[in-house]
Structure 1
Amino acid sequence: MSFAKRALMGASALTAIGFAAQAETLTIATVNNGDMIVMQSMTQSFTDANPDIELEWVQLEENILRERVTTDIATQGGQYDVLTIGTYEVPIWAAQDWLVPLSDLPDDYDTDDLLPAVRGALSVDDTLYAVPFYAESAMVMYRTDLAEAAGVTIPDSPTWTDIKTAAEAMTDKDAEVYGICLRGKPGWGENMAFLTAMSNSYGGRWFDMDWNPQFDSEEWKAALTDYLDLMTNYGPPGASSNGFNENLSLFQQGKCGMWIDATVAASFVTNPDDSTVADSVGFAQFPNKDGVDNHGNWLWAWSLAIPTSSDAPDAAKKFVAWATSKAYTNEVAEAKGWRSVPPGTRTSLYENPEYQEAAPFAAMTLTAIDGADTQKSSVQDIPYTGGQFVAIPEFQGIGTAVGQQFSAALAGQMSADDALAGAQANVTREMTRSGYIK
């Protein structure tokens, strides 16, 4: 081998070594929901444009994701470079200086295009600390064919009385068709997201203005009693183990007459590739109790944030900007159709005629998001913010503890009264210990 050739090969090897030394690996922690799975499958365009960045994925079930990322960021462990978190965590973690500010995203990112309610929920003092991958409120999804066959009508703005009537009429347990599917899996972001919204729609609240728990109120008793009645009589077996993904599967298989849950599910239940009932789905607002002017709309955004413990914040900013950009939306639309793009984040999406035509749920989704008031989620006075959660650090613990009791009631292990009494006692004790109750 000639000296010149050896020199050339040596230079090439050094270049390769130098490139490898410069390459950064981003560890991305995300939830195993459908839109995030699509995101992982679409990253080729990002890695092609950024060959010096490698992506490592950690996809987890919702409750496990929350537990792991909360532990990591609270200890500044630095295990993850990009976190998938929600509207609950952002203001709390930003106040602790745990999140990198995102005020310097590229000009073409167009932060002004983000829906105002969503952008506000992810900002502290007008500084953005997370960018929304998709956002949601909640609504009713129902089988139009079953409703028609049962002779019931579900109005665009139903009451819980309308829902019970329809659930009873559509239930056919011999055919394994259940009138209604609702979350029963315990967790502050699982069954308690739904039940907090349901309580709001009954006029309930978690706390009075002195932070005293309100589970001994008539509103909470009525909400939980009606929930258990619906699920016991018209819900699927094993409902106390069902969360978002389990109910999604049941609905797609044609086993649910109605499902009341996150608006983001609309694209999944109307996708003929995955849903056996795709051509027979209607939509309505989250119900309210007769006489209560509150539909209990929640507001949630699964968002991408960068922990201050990351050793690759600049590379992480490139990734979160790409994954939540208008360009990414267009890539998904081209690959999978407009119905499949992540919803609820940008004004331009809801002004897009192609999306409006492809997504029959678009208008109801926007109505639900616009109707959410996280500053005052109850018709009664409250000392907290948050729609389907209470925006205090202690809520993860107390919300999950209450969720476990309510899930036990759904499983038949205790009565509604006992579950409510246990919730009242436990939350009072924790709020006193934390200094809220003097």
Structure 2
Amino acid sequence: MRTQSRRRPPRATLAMAAAGTLLAPLLSGCWVGAGGAGSGGDAINVLMVNNPQMVELQKLTRAHFTKETGIKVNFTVLPENDVRDKISQDFANQAGQYDVATLSNYEIPIYARNGWLHEMNSYVTKDPAYDEQDVLGPMRQSLSGDDGKLYGQPFYGESSFLMYRKDVFEKKGLTMPAHPTWQQVADLAAKADGAEPGMKGICLRGLPGWGEVMAPLTTVVNTFGGTWFDKDWKARLDSPAFEKATKFYVDLVREHGESGAAQSGFAECLNNMTQGKVAMWYDATSAAGSLEAANSPVKGKVGYAPAPVDKTESSGWLYTWAWGIQNASRNPDDAWKFVSWASGKGYEELVGDKAGWSNVPAGKRASTYANADYRKEAAAFQEMTKEAIEGARPDDPGVQPRPAPGIQFVGIPEFTDLGTKVSQEISAAIAGRQSVDSALKKSQALAEKISEEYEGR
């Protein structure tokens, strides 16, 4: 148990900080639709992000979950930046307007710490059909609180890996190692650069945002031996390892990366890879489904390799959209029935039957990767995805002890603001507007302000 520092913020202050700093946007989007009536009786309110798999869930709920249970589900569906804003306001105030919300493994431990979430252990122990042990270990770990209890159930999960054009590599006489290092990737990027007219060697995110450029870059920092904060909360963005990793990343994307890298995020790199503008791409495992879609120009042409490493055995990140039940929910029992249905094996089978196994919200259950139908449809990437998720180490992603969980983020409320500001400095270095040294000097000063609040805790 950590001792309290004189500079440590009181619990109420931390709760307000979480309510405020968790509002920072990741992506922009458009309004999709909202639910209506309040919860109570045989109805619950669910607030969720507007990604395609959630929209599919909304379509299937009435005809299946409501028909089977009699529980009506009122959905409010919003773009990611808006949904985070609304969730943090409702849960921080414990207003109880929404019984269930989509939260990531970044928010859930923080929300649990502040008492905003209903624990789920009491439900999973009474619901053997849900089969909690089938949920992949890193997912369970990342959705647990400081007390070891579960506070979320994953809807789908992802890690990160390296994607590359097998046909281009063959034509150039290049071989992707079974477990590539970052130096090997840099060498391959140089050789693949220009393999086809207008093709660059690799795509790496450069777009500002704690969930954009900082996600892949932080995994590089981890495996190069760096960390945002050491175990005593001392900011380490000016350490040799952090500097080496950042210079490597910036130099690689500037020399052999996509054009307009400073404005390229996940969506732009996906487009570049799909259109044959890059030979490699390091990013989320969830991208593989799009690359292997029936209408993809590169379907069957892409190979997959583990996230590149330097000093660590693995370096893939861990992310999940998960369900959290608000502590102030008027209907926690019915809320659990919805959560267990939406994250259960039966729902995956339903989606596989209705929409095809490539559309199943995977990345969370071991049984998915044993399913013959799923393995056949996702043969190109399913095993590599499972290995990446199972190899993720959210509590120990680098070479030194960490003061907070997280691989591609630091699991504290202040990281949304800190990560976003640091990302702007890194993106400016990628754009050539400043040096990496200058970017990290400014970033270290920002991180030291967080250190002052946390040191000695």
TM-score range, shorter chain: 0.7 to 0.9
Residue of structure 1 in register with 2:217 after alignment:
195
Question: What is the CA deviation profile of residues 168-202 of structure 1, one whole-angstrom value per residue up to 9, with x for unaligned ones?
Answer: 23333984433222222222222212111110111
Kindly indicate whether residue 418 of structure 2 is the aligned counterpart of residue 391 of structure 1.
no
Kindly indicate whether residue 189 of structure 2 is the aligned counterpart of residue 171 of structure 1.
no
Q: Aligned equivalents of 1:66 and 1:427: distance in 2?
A: 23
Q: 1:316 to 1:252 in 2, by over 3 A?
A: farther
Residue of 211, 217, 230 corresponding to 2:239: 217
Query: Residue 318 of structure 1: SS of its match in structure 2?
Result: helix
TM-score by structure 1 length?
A: 0.86
RMSD of Structure 2 on Structure 1 (CA): 2.5
Residue of structure 2 in register with 1:407 after alignment:
427
Query: Residue 299 of structure 2: SS of its match in structure 1?
Result: coil
Question: What is the CA deviation profile of residues 342-398 of structure 1, one whole-angstrom value per residue up to 9, with x for unaligned ones?
Answer: 222112122223322322212211221222222211113433332222222322222
Kindly indicate whether residue 263 of structure 2 is the aligned counterpart of residue 241 of structure 1.
yes
What count of residue pairs does the alignment treat as equivalent?
Answer: 413
Q: Aligned equivalents of 1:87 and 1:218: distance in 2?
A: 29
> Which aligned pairs between 1:93-172 and structure 2 lie closer than 5 A?
93-102=111-120, 103-105=122-124, 106-124=127-145, 125-172=147-194
Query: Residue 155 of structure 1: SS of its match in structure 2?
Result: coil
Residue of structure 2 in register with 1:16 after alignment:
none
Q: Is the 8 A contact 1:203 1:294 kept in 2?
A: no
Between stretches 275-284 and 252-261, larger displacement belongs to 252-261
Kindly indicate whether residue 364 of structure 2 is the aligned counterpart of residue 345 of structure 1.
yes
Residue of 274, 297, 309 corresponding to 1:288: 309
Give 5+ residue unaligned stretches, structure 1.
1-19
Q: 1:22 to 1:310 in 2, by over 3 A?
A: closer
Aligned residues with identical type, % of pairs: 40
Q: 1:78 to 1:176 in 2, by over 3 A?
A: farther
Between stretches 238-247 and 156-165, larger displacement belongs to 238-247
Q: Is the 8 A contact 2:44 2:98 kept in 1?
A: no
Q: Shift of the alpha carbon at 1:110?
A: 1.6
Q: Aligned equivalents of 1:81 and 1:176: distance in 2?
A: 50
Residue of structure 2 in register with 1:8 after alignment:
none
Max Rg structure: 1
Q: Aligned equivalents of 1:248 and 1:37: distance in 2?
A: 21
Kindly indicate whether residue 447 of structure 2 is the aligned counterpart of residue 427 of structure 1.
yes
Question: What is the CA deviation profile of residues 33-89 of structure 1, one whole-angstrom value per residue up to 9, with x for unaligned ones?
Answer: 44334333433423433555143232313x444344234322334454322111122
Q: Is the 8 A contact 1:199 1:205 kept in 2?
A: yes
Q: Shift of the alpha carbon at 1:126?
A: 4.1
TM-score by structure 2 length?
A: 0.83
Between stretches 75-84 and 208-217, larger displacement belongs to 75-84
Question: What is the CA deviation profile of residues 86-144 of structure 1, one whole-angstrom value per residue up to 9, with x for unaligned ones?
Answer: 11221221121101222325442221211122112212334321110111221111111
Q: Aligned equivalents of 2:40 and 2:162: distance in 1?
A: 52
Query: Residue 345 of structure 1: SS of its match in structure 2?
Result: coil
Residue of 67, 78, 89 corresponding to 2:107: 89
Residue of structure 2 in register with 1:12 after alignment:
none
Q: Is the 8 A contact 1:200 1:296 kept in 2?
A: yes
Residue of 347, 366, 379 corresponding to 1:328: 347
Q: Aligned equivalents of 1:66 and 1:239: distance in 2?
A: 27
Q: Shift of the alpha carbon at 1:300?
A: 1.9
Q: Is the 8 A contact 2:136 2:366 kept in 1?
A: yes
* Residue identity opposite 1:199 in structure 2: V
Q: Aligned equivalents of 2:189 and 2:169: distance in 1?
A: 9
* Residue identity opposite 1:383 in structure 2: P
* Residue identity opposite 1:152 in structure 2: L
Q: Aligned equivalents of 2:73 and 2:422: distance in 1?
A: 41
Give 5+ residue unaligned stretches, structure 2.
1-38
